[in-house]
Amino acid sequence: MKAIIPAAGIGTRLRPHTYTLPKALLYVAGKPIIAHILDDVVALAPSSIVLIVGYKGELIEKYVRKHYPQLQVDFVFQEERRGIGHAVDLTRKVADSGEPLLIVLGDTIIKTDLKKVVAHKTNVLGVKEVEDPRRFGVAEVEGGRISKLVEKPQEPQSNLALVGLYYLNDGKPLFDAVREIIERNITTNNEYQITDALQLMIGRGAEFVPFVIDEWFDCGKPEAMLETNRKLLKNSDHAPAIDGSIVIPPVSISPGAEIVNSIIGPYVSIAERCVIHSSVVRDSVISEGATVTDALLESSLIGANAVIRGGFKKLDVGDSSEINFK
């Protein structure tokens, strides 16, 4: 099986953090978004993985080469973001081999049993019920099969949203379909959508079944990142003992972080090389190398190598910033 992970998103709603990092490398619940996705995909032992990168894609490649040196990974650069269908088409030379194909979008975190997905004898699309399906690709189901797919419908006939998880027993028909929508200039919102390519396949008799996923975590904006951090940490009871400090689970604290005379948690992620002194931190994500001193932080995102001194604040601070409240 081949696996494709489109991770070329810019993440404009997550600025200032995405001024210095691609969205896929933002830290949440103990590791970057892309690591949550890769860890689940790697467990399936694919023959190879194709990562589609764009904005600051060299940083994603550097991270993956360092932390997953054993993987067979091809990096494909998407210079112009023209939709997921276009992104998949760019991988044709390295992924169109007639093998089964798994596609997992690289900007959200899906928690489900992927082994059950790839065990299916037919094609599978991950779905989840949502309150407002107009924001998503939507699947209509009849008799246990997907009968129709519509990208961002104004009058949806179903509340089953596509979550960005696609499994095909044979990837070639999808590559043919995305090539066709590009050649025929079939677009939705001026982009070549994978939904439109899959609908072509359905119209020609391809069978797809829905797979209701367990949890689907949005990472599109700061409030969603914090909610994702809370939900991913919620089942963890790990609370490392730190002399002179109090740790309230659930938390994720890197062994390389320095915590002194502080109260940490609940729902806090602290990355490598962070320094937290004489502070209270709860419901927050502190990225690599950040320093927090004499502060009370709540519902905050602190970028890599940022420095926070003093004050009681809710902060959304990008990389290498320095905030002094004294």
pLDDT band at 322 (very low <50, low <70, confident <90, very high): low
The distance of Cα 98 from the centroid of its chain, to the nearest Å, equals 27
Cβ neighbour number for residue 35 with a 10 Å cutoff: 21
> For residue 125, what are the β-bridge partners?
166, 210
pLDDT the model gives residue 318: 66
Least confident of 84-98, 198-212, 257-271: 84-98
The distance of Cα 95 from the centroid of its chain, to the nearest Å, equals 21
The DSSP annotation for 74-90 comes to EEEE-SS---HHHHHHH
The overall average pLDDT reported for the chain is: 88
Yes or no: say if 104 and 117 are a contact pair by the CB < 8 Å rule: no
Phi, psi values for residue 118, rounded to 5°: -80, -5
Higher-scoring residue by pLDDT: 189, 281: 281
Helix (H, G, I), strand (E, B) or coil at 309: strand
Here the tokens at position 244 are 């002179």
pLDDT the model gives residue 20: 81
Higher-scoring residue by pLDDT: 247, 79: 247
In terms of average pLDDT, the best of 107-121, 154-168, 271-285 is 271-285
Least confident of 11-15, 264-268, 271-275, 321-325: 321-325
pLDDT band at 312 (very low <50, low <70, confident <90, very high): low
pLDDT band at 21 (very low <50, low <70, confident <90, very high): confident
> What is the pLDDT averaged over residues 319-326?
62
> What is the pLDDT averaged over residues 29-45?
91
> What is the pLDDT averaged over residues 244-264?
93
Here the tokens at position 155 are 């009058």
The DSSP annotation for 241-276 comes to --TT-EE-SSEEE-TT-EEES-EE-SSEEE-TT-EE
Closest by Cα among 269, 220, 283 to 10: 220
DSSP strand pairing (123-129 vs 160-168): antiparallel
Least confident of 111-120, 141-150, 212-221: 212-221
Distance CA 126, CA 117 (A): 8
pLDDT the model gives residue 155: 85
Distances (CA, A) of 177 to 35, 153, 190, 194, 206: 30, 21, 17, 9, 11
Angle between helices 57-67 and 33-42 (to 10 degrees): 50
Angle between helices 172-183 and 194-203 (to 10 degrees): 110
pLDDT the model gives residue 324: 65
Higher-scoring residue by pLDDT: 86, 14: 86
pLDDT the model gives residue 37: 92
Cis bond before residue 16 (omega within 30° of 0):
yes
Kindly report the CATH class assigned to 236-324: mainly beta
Least confident of 96-105, 201-210, 214-223: 214-223
Distance CA 107, CA 200 (A): 25
Here the tokens at position 216 are 């689907």
pLDDT the model gives residue 62: 93
Distances (CA, A) of 125 to 53, 69, 103, 260, 288: 23, 30, 10, 47, 35
Record the pTM: 0.87
Q: What is the CATH number of domain 2-221?
A: 3.90.550.10
Yes or no: say if 172 and 96 are a contact pair by the CB < 8 Å rule: yes
pLDDT the model gives residue 273: 93
The DSSP annotation for 175-240 comes to HHHHHHHHHTT--BTTB--HHHHHHHHHHTT--EEEEE-SEEEE-SSHHHHHHHHHHHHTT-----
Closest by Cα among 132, 85, 109, 122 to 210: 122
The 10s digit of each residue's pLDDT in 45-101 is: 998 899 999 888 899 999 999 999 988 899 999 888 888 899 999 998 888 777 899
Sequence ranges of the domains in the chain = 2-221, 236-324
Residue 326, pLDDT > 60, answer: no
Domains 2-221 and 236-324 share a fold: no
Yes or no: say if 274 and 260 are a contact pair by the CB < 8 Å rule: no
pLDDT the model gives residue 259: 95
pLDDT the model gives residue 323: 64
The 10s digit of each residue's pLDDT in 155-195 is: 888 888 888 899 999 989 999 999 999 999 988 888 899 98
